[in-house]
Structure 1
Amino acid sequence: MPKYHQDDARRQMDQIETVRNVCMLGSMGHGKSCIMDNMGALTGYLAENKIGDQLFTLYRADEKEKKSNYKCNPCHFLLDAKYSELKGEVGKQELGEEKDGKFMFCMLDTPGHIEYSPEVAAGLRMSDATLCTVGVQDGVGVMMEYMVTDSLKERCKPTLFVNKMDISIMVLEKTGEELYQDLSKVVENMNVALAGAEKLNLKGFNLVPELGNVVFGSAYYGWAFSLRQFAKMYAAKMPGMTEEKMMKRLWGDQFYNPAKKTWTTVEVEGSKRGFVQFILDPIINMHKKIMAEDASWEAMATKLGVTLKAEDKKLKGKALVKRVMQSWLPAGDAIATMIATHAPNPKVAQKLKIEHIYKGDMESDTAKAMVACDPNGPLMMHVVKMTPTGSAGRFYAVGRIFSGVASTDKYHIRGPDYDPEDPETSAYAQEGRAQNVMLNLGKEMQPVMNCPAGNIVSLGGVDQFMSKSATISSDKKSYNFTSLSFNVSCVYRIAIRPADSKQLPKLVEGLKRLQKADIIVNCVSEPTGDHIVSGCGEEHLKLVLKDLKEEHAGVDFTRGVPTVSYKETVTTECAKPALSKSPNKHNRLYVIACPLGEEVSQAIETYKVNMQQDVKKRARVLIDEYGWEKTDCMKIWGFGPNDIDVGGANVLVDQTKGIQYLNEIKESVNSGLQWAARQGPLAEENMRGVRFNLMDVKLHADSIHRGMGQLQPTARRVFFGAVLTSDARFMEPIFKVVIACPEDVEQGVNQAIMAKRGEPQYTEVKDGKTIVVAFLPIAETLGDDPFTKVLQTKTSGKALATFAFDHWQLIQTDPLEKGSKAESIMLDIRERKGLKVEHPDISEYIDRL
């Protein structure tokens, strides 16, 4: 049990200057969950001798089995204020003169696998800082580079834990200088990954060991240190040496000659690097003495102020190393000190963050309240994920409060597509009452009366009013928060059916619950009776199907073969407008389709351009950056499809002139756009990168003859016709694959890439390994002969590949050309979906005058 009650935690949340919201970042196996164990031991969530073994933030049985988490889980820690090293006016402002208060940390343990990166995106949105964890032997990998880039977009300030020093000392037996070079390389590469901060005008986002925002150690063995810990000790022993001056001596090219007691910036005879001599050598010597069962370790420990219990002294080998090092350099203390000192509090952080994530006017009272992190302002909470409550089918809404106070009250709950200026989106807004307010204290959810601005909280009872994410507000006129952007896309899909048809209702209900429980998973029904579950990869699909069976549906189902999603697009502008007539023949729509452009498509998919933006701001972006005409910018009717996981990179522009009743059909035509863009004409795949220009409209004078029932299907037909007359093509999803291998198998790696339609990009040597970077069609990673199998064969198993979704690529062949590869893809998809296995008939969509 923790050393404090939830009421203590709640009281501390009012002291907003002492709150730290921190997202853990790191690749799989780099030690994030071990770090959480060290923090848990500080607050009584687990015993010190369980550090590294209990992994208390891994809640699920499958997480414990793999020792790796799949979900982003917030955990609150109430800590002593002694951990702060803040000085001067900043320290007084945060903790008062006496520094006798507490700190409230909320740390979010996130997955390290690329396929679960949407959980990382959710954690970053709720956080103000990051604790990046890098194994010193593993180095800064591709996954960490992605994470760091995303953290900068969310304005999260970095700190760093360089982990796994125990392996370098006890397994690899590296010298102090060798280990320093490895540690230095990690810090250097992390700063390279953080270089984007300068472009975003973010100050103080670099990692500098001399400032204390980097900690080194072993999370599993429970020890860690910052330079300040050793600087304090040695400064007291060296005449004229200050703590700040000593910190600078303990990193970089600073060499000390103990005989002459002099420092130089180049290594000369009799001198040794300060970091090695004063920090690494004592640590390495302690390890060696204990492992060699040299009794002098005890005298050395006593000299360092380490005292052990009698039963601890009976330990041997690594168990004794763990106990001694935990007592000498407790990792929890070092991490807590770094976070308390270098992670910003919400009042500071929200000044940077709100402008980036709020869609409304920054001069509004609501925006100003969020920038000030004002608990007296209107409630503004961004719910970024849902987590099961334990009751069947019910979820907590997990999110960050940016202003106001969340309590058991009635609020406006709005989906991502809501726009207060667009009456057509009113269906996405509801009123609902929160039934309880919960904090995550260790493994337990504990109720509190309310929760103020700047904190992360879970609300119960509001899950019925939202799907995956929402803006919760007490201000009806406020705008939404921007949607999360992801590094991955739901490009893998699998068809399922209930094993017993009588269990279909349970399966359908389970799929609804699954969509809430997973941030990005998408579930749809096909005319064939199949239910399609789409995920980020094979690993992700395995997990969600397991959850569907065991937690959400509770029924058996059969599953098909995993396949890949495609997009439908156009490559040219059609020669003349496509014409479609309404079913009653009284209305006509004329539309041209043309390529939208990759840059604009990406801008829409990353929400740089979206329908909720101020029209003038959006126009300015399109004019200045993408060369659009001002008239077109001001007459955008809609983006489609709206689904948050699809992206909506298709645009409808009104280019008509002097048409009566035009505004009356806007909703109907936009509805047709959503339908068409979600299920394109080739194979009912999502469209991407298509711009539709509405050129002319002929409408019946009587409104009863131009309603939704007449115009919506007509709009869909004319959009289909326009696409089919504009050289329609498929786009396929592409992985960026990074392959590490010995130099002697590099040729085999390139052969494997070429054999699977891949495109090598560049090769570099990093940390003694050859790194090959290439683009690879995701479809080539599936089937009986996947890329990984070919790679293993070509390299005798010596190469290791990591994958991440990168972009959509045009398939050049014509799907309407007999015998082409694109035609084969189209017909396969149509057969799988229960459509006619034939080319789409353009005469079904285009009418004649």
Structure 2
Amino acid sequence: MDRLITELKLTPLEAYHHLVRLLEKVNAVMGELFGAEVMEKSSQVNGSGSAMEDSDDSSLYFSPDQDNVVFASAVDGWGFRIKEFAELYAAKLKLKSDVLHKTLWGDFYLENKTKHIKKGAQNKGKKPLFVQFVLENVWAVYESVLVNKDKEKTDKIIKSLNLRILPRDSRSTDSRVHLHAICHQWLPLAHSLLEMVVEKLPSAMDITPDRVHKLLYSAVMDHDTLPPQTQRIRKAFLDCSSTDDAPLIVYVSKMLSVDRKALPRNRHQALTTEELAKRGKLARERHAERMRQAEGEVAGKKTGCSDDTVSSDAASNTLTDGQSTSNEAVASEDTKELEPEEVFIAFARVFSGTVRRGQEMLVLGPKHNPLIALEQVEGTDQVADLTTGQLAGLRYVSRATVTDVYMLMGRELESLPEVPAGNILGLGGLSEHIINSATVSSTLACPAFTEMFFEATPILRVAVEPKHTGDMSALMAGLRLLNQADACVQVLVQQTGEHVIVAAGEIHLQKCLEDLTTRFAKVEVNVSAPIVPFRETIILPPTTDIVNEAIQDQPQPSKPNNWENQATPTDDDTHVIDIDIGGGACRLKIRAIPLPEDAAKLLEESSDMLKILSQFSGRNTDRHSGHLTTHMSDRVSDFKERLVAVFARSEDWAAEDVDKIWAFGPRQVGPNILLNRAAGNEWLSLWDTVGRNGDDVSKLESWDVRQGIVSGFQLATDAGPLCEEPMRGVCFVIEHIELAQSDDTLSVGSTDRVSDADGVDLMTRSSMPAYTGQLMSSVKDGCRRAFQAKPQRMVAAMYSCVIQATADVLGKVYASLGKRNGRVLKEDLLEGWSLFNITAVLPMAESFGFVKEIRKRTSGLASPQLRFSHWEVIDMDPFWVPTTEEEYLHFGEKADSENIACRYMNDVRRRKGLKVDEKIVEFGEKQRTLSKNK
């Protein structure tokens, strides 16, 4: 609010209209979110009315007359709701407080003659009540204190408001200090904010069953599949009980890094009256003892007598006392040096039970499965009854003791003996058991909470190493602390042994590196160039070249001849690749086709559903996975229907293709598909294996062949041929599968055959194909060759860039975006402001230093905000070279304009140590002109 006065310099009436428009925009967004949620929950519209008509959104929107809006200035420390002004002016105007409360915000004005409140202030040119009674008073305080610095008027305002301002505040040369003192007493922000929190925020007792279900059960876990003990926890969760018999359920969302000196036990505390009296008594006794010793020394000098024995004893006692004091001091200093300066406090919320200091509890990891854990302990699930041996057998469970319980008071911590359910607290003593987040409970039956959702996805990577090799252990310890302190950062160790930090963006990465070097590791580190992720894909053969001329029977450019695994020429235009394994034991025909973009996006958005399919399909199904419940089965069917709809809308695709899907990849959850169009019904699709017993499926004669093909597909999509980056939006179609009929060729071991209940021909488990490994590698190479037979493209990670800038610097903003291959999507002038809101997309590979550059070029008048948005295909062949006469005329013989896709590809290949097609010395015999500095 203060910026409306000091920076925008709006009048009270202009500020009122600005606030009205602002609330309208916020409520419009809230309405859109509410409508989307209602339509998502409602699968169909009732005949009597729509789902929106049946939903109650009366308490959804923000309106000052509902007391859910606070007008505030955090800088100057004031804030209010219209409820406070309504109570104040109701007595002065002799009006009902309820009536004034409903009309103080809106198109209402006060008739001066009749003292009646009427509607239509805007049409009649009257001041709205909110402007007349609220905003004009606030503006008057700012103008008298901050703008005009009118001391006489300021004193009059202070007197009329019955405020007591300290002389040091009124005499301060900084008018902001004086303004803060007045506004803080007149309209205290803490009072208004706390009242609204108490009135409007829902109680912990009002938690809904849907929220409990989302917190307790992940996408691959359902309520009906869990043991009875776990199902009873759901009721305790809903009751939010803090009784002694209620199970303890606590969720730790993050670990807070706190200076050890800020802990209550290490803070300097004021002494009580009794402690001061005791300290004074001890001081007087020590002073009297010193006086007696001094008098004894004077008397000894006068008599001239000396006792060697007494002197030696005194000396030895003094030496002993001095040594002990010195030893204690050294030990104390050593202890302080060993203790880390940073202490981690678990930021948590209690959903059930009561947390007490010194209480033992179980820390449940994200992979904790209560069904498996309860079967292993057999008989007990409480932390007090579990033995050390039983806990040692549980992989994702550890026992911890809460050393301290804190109440979080802003930056300070207050120690508490216990905290009941429904509260947020800090827990000490869990730093050795929790990295980022965890579920804490008193029973093994509690499932691990679902993972936290972050709006910003960590995607920017750098490799770090210590400058001095001896600091490697300190760096590893610092990386562990960094991973604990920041829930959004990821710390990985690659197969090459490199330690990698994954951050959400450039600013986040800079903060992580600063914390690593100054707080956690405290060693100098070498940081690699940012590792930008890319994807590889294929497209349909283009119809025009780079100069927009029709392509007529020209060969598609492929990778250089000196690269390995060149695509095998084919006789037709379908680019089918023949694969021969084991001397004719298995023959495959595979081709690659691009997936529709909508299908690739759907697969990326449905990663949780793909995890369910992976868990409940084929050999992945075991006794601990449980059975596929009706709820999960409905979700799988819904996902399949959405995929069918996407394929039906796309050209060259049929809805029946969905039934022929074998796998998704890479890692079974990626945006690539393996499709089987080979003739024969003996091959099971992915949907046929979902929910089927893994042992039964693996007995099928063709199962091992199928799994070998799927594994080769997973390997191929995980590292493409362009630069070993994962593929995206590629479908590999198996056109033909031919297996040799000789049992000697197909298998080794037993070839006894049995039939299952459905009459399906099965082989015994001892029959294993001899060529499974060769099948995987051959399918991998075949998929890569099929990929290379089509036009290949690089896919870049794109940032969504939102920039607010004035009209004076728009040209510089556009120049900076164009220089970095950015693209402006839209430009809007903010209503009531002189700022433009620019929305653009920027390749992540070009974003490094962008924020700093644009602020420097615009003198700070443009502030960009970057956030990962999507993957975008770079519309340029990474192997393109001029071939036609027009291209030679337009681009030159050496293609003088830069091939961005080729540059990105070569950068990644060079970083990974792969072969790069470039000449180090282009003209070895050309004469060089060497100049010498004279």
| CA RMSD across the alignment | 4.6
**Structure 1 counterpart of 2:482, from 504, 514, 518:** 514
> Conserved in 1, the CA contact under 8 Å of 2:363 and 2:433?
no
Distance 2:710 2:112 in 1: 78
Structure-2 change in CA distance of 1:209 and 1:166 (3 Å): same
Task: Confirm or deny: 8 A CA contact 2:361 2:440 kept in the other structure.
Answer: no
TM-score normalised per structure 2: 0.61
1:198 aligns with 2:35: yes
User: Is 1:657 the counterpart of 2:695 in the alignment?
Assistant: no
Q: Deviations over 1:511-531 (max 9, x none)?
A: 344333322323445576654
Matched, 1:558 2:526: yes
The structural deviation recorded for 1:806 is: 1.2
Give the alignment's TM-score, normalised by structure 1: 0.66
What's 2:270 paired with?
Answer: none
CA distance in 2, matches of 1:466, 1:764: 46
1-structure distance, mates of 2:781, 2:533: 19
Distance (Å, rounded) in 1 between the aligned partners of 2:250 and 2:580: 45
Q: CA deviation at 1:255?
A: 1.8
2:199 equivalent to 1:341: yes
The match for 1:772 among 817, 835, 838 is 838
The alpha-carbon distance between structure 1 residues 720 and 412, as it changes in their structure 2 partners (threshold 3 A), is farther
Q: Which runs of 5+ in 2 are unaligned?
A: 39-55, 225-230, 261-338, 375-391, 542-573, 614-630, 646-654, 685-696, 740-745, 750-764, 882-894, 919-934
Cα deviation digits, residues 323-371 of structure 1 (max 9, x gap): 1111111000011111111111222244453344442435744444434
Q: Measured at CA, do residues 736 and 324 of structure 1 come closer, stay the same or move farther in structure 2, by a change above 3 Å?
A: same
Counterpart among 774, 779, 786 of residue 725 in structure 1: 786
Query: CA, structure 1 residues 233+260, in 2 after alignment: closer, same or farther (shift >3 Å)?
Result: same
**CA distance in 2 between partners of 1:694 and 1:565 (Å):** 29
CA deviation after TM superposition for structure 1 residue 279, in Å: 0.7
Q: For residues 522-573 of structure 1, what are the alpha-carbon distances to aligned partners after superposition, in whole Å with 9 as ceiling and x for unaligned?
A: 3445576654333222211111112222333332222233342212345579
Q: Contact 2:799–2:841 at 8 Å: present in 1 too?
A: yes
Residues 313 and 608 of structure 1: CA distance in aligned 2, closer, same or farther (over 3 Å)? same
Report the counterpart of residue 147 of structure 1 in structure 2.
none
Correspondence for 1:7: none
Alignment map for 1:382-397 (pairs within 5 Å): 382-388=251-257, 395-397=344-346
Give yes or no for contact 1:232–1:243 (8 Å, CA) kept in 2: yes
**Residues 693/505 of structure 1: CA separation in 2 closer, same or farther (3 Å cut):** farther
After the TM superposition, which residues 553-592 of structure 1 pair with which residues of structure 2 at under 5 Å, given as runs?
553-571=521-539
Q: 1: CA distance between counterparts of 2:208 and 2:845? A: 42
The answer on whether the counterparts of 1:402 and 1:453 sit within 8 Å (CA) in structure 2 is yes
Contact (CA 8 Å) 1:366, 1:377: kept in 2 or not? no
Aligned partners of 1:665 and 1:706 also within 8 Å: no
Whole-Å separation in 1 of the counterparts to 2:212 and 2:577: 44
Cα separation, partners in 2 of 1:296 and 1:351, compared to 1, 3 Å: farther
Say if 1:220 and 1:348 are closer, same or farther in 2 by CA, change over 3 A: same
More strand by share: 1
Label 1:438 to 1:411 Cα distance change in 2 as closer, same or farther (>3 A): same
Q: Secondary structure at the match of 1:255?
A: strand
In the other structure, the counterpart of 2:2 is 166
Which residue identity is paired with 1:398?
A: F
Match of 2:364 in 1: 413
- Structure 1 residue 275: Cα displacement: 0.5
Structure 1 position 177 matched with structure 2 position 13: yes
Change (3 A) 1:405 1:837: farther
* Aligned 1:665-680 pairs, distance under 5 A: 679-680=719-720
User: Aligned partners of 1:827 and 1:489: how far apart in 2?
Assistant: 26
In 1: Cα distance, 2:672 partner to 2:507 partner: 30
What is the CA–CA distance in structure 2 between the aligned matches of 1:418 and 1:667, rounded to whole Å? 27
Instruction: State the Cα deviation string for residues 66-113 of structure 1 (Å, max 9, x = none).
Output: xxxxxxxxxxxxxxxxxxxxxxxxxxxxxxxxxxxxxxxxxxxxxxxx
Distance in 1 (alpha carbons) for counterparts of 2:240 and 2:674: 38
Q: Aligned AA for 1:722?
A: C
Equivalents in 1 of 2:414, 2:474: separation in Å? 31
**Relative to structure 1, is the Cα distance of residues 226 and 416 closer, same or farther in structure 2, using a 3 angstrom cutoff?**
farther
- Tell me how far apart the structure 1 counterparts of residues 539 and 590 of structure 2 sit (CA, whole Å): 16
Per-residue deviation, residues 560-601 of structure 1 (Å, max 9, x unmatched): 33342212345579965885969x999999987665655555
1:300 paired residue number: 157
Alpha-carbon distance between aligned partners in 1 of 2:415 and 2:486, rounded to the nearest angstrom: 24
Would the aligned equivalents of 2:600 and 2:671 in 1 still touch at CA under 8 Å?
Answer: yes
Q: Distance in 2 between matches of 1:581 and 1:477?
A: 50
Given that 1:601 and 1:689 are in contact with CA atoms closer than 8 Å, whether structure 2 keeps it comes out as yes
Return the letter of the residue paired with 1:657.
W
Q: Does 1:808 align with 2:871?
A: yes
Contact 2:577 2:786 in 1 (8 A): no
Q: Is the 8 A contact 2:534 2:795 kept in 1?
A: yes
Is residue 370 of structure 1 aligned with residue 225 of structure 2?
Answer: no
Paired amino acid for 2:19: L
**1:619 aligned residue (636, 651, 666):** 636
1:370–1:403 CA contact under 8 A, matched in 2: yes
Cα distance between partner residues in 2 of 1:635 and 1:461: 50
Distance 1:200 1:526, change over 3 A: closer
CA gap of 1:789–1:813, structure 2 versus 1, over 3 A, is same
Equivalent residue letter for 1:411:
L
The answer to whether residue 114 in structure 2 is matched with residue 257 in structure 1 is no
* Residue pair 1:758, 1:774 contacting (<8 A) in 2 also: yes
Shift of residue 430, structure 1, vs aligned partner: 1.1
Correspondent of 1:438 among 381, 405, 422: 405
Taking the aligned partners of 2:370 and 2:719, their CA distance within structure 1 comes to 24
Deviation at 1:712? 8.1
CA distance in 2, matches of 1:640, 1:564: 19
Cα deviations by residue, 1:409-465 (Å, 9 ceiling, x for unpaired)? 343623269796999xx9995111122163343334556566544333445555555
Give the match for residue 756 of structure 2: none
Q: Structure 1 residues 538, 342: CA separation in 2 closer, same or farther (over 3 Å shift)?
A: same
Give the aligned residue type for 1:833.
K
Residue pair 1:227, 1:247 contacting (<8 A) in 2 also: yes
Q: Give the aligned partner of residue 511 of structure 2.
A: 543
Q: Secondary structure at the match of 2:136?
A: helix
- Counting only pairs closer than 5 Å after superposition, residues 527-542 of structure 1 correspond to structure 2 as 530-542=498-510
Residue 216 (structure 1) shift: 0.7
**Does the 8 A contact of 2:600 with 2:729 survive in 1?**
yes
Query: CA separation in 2, counterparts of 1:717 and 1:388?
Result: 51
Residue of structure 2 aligned with 1:207, choices 58, 62, 70: 62
Deviation string, structure 1 residues 771-824 (Cα, Å, up to 9, x no partner):
2222221222237xx58747976x787544332221111123344667954343
Taking the aligned partners of 2:591 and 2:171, their CA distance within structure 1 comes to 82
1:833 is aligned to 2:912: yes
Aligned partners of 1:671, 1:427: CA distance in 2, in Å? 32
Deviation at 1:318, TM superposition (A): 2.6
Shift of 1:611: 1.8
The higher radius of gyration belongs to 2
Whether the 8 Å contact between 1:223 and 1:326 is mirrored in structure 2 is yes
1:398 correspondence with 2:347: yes
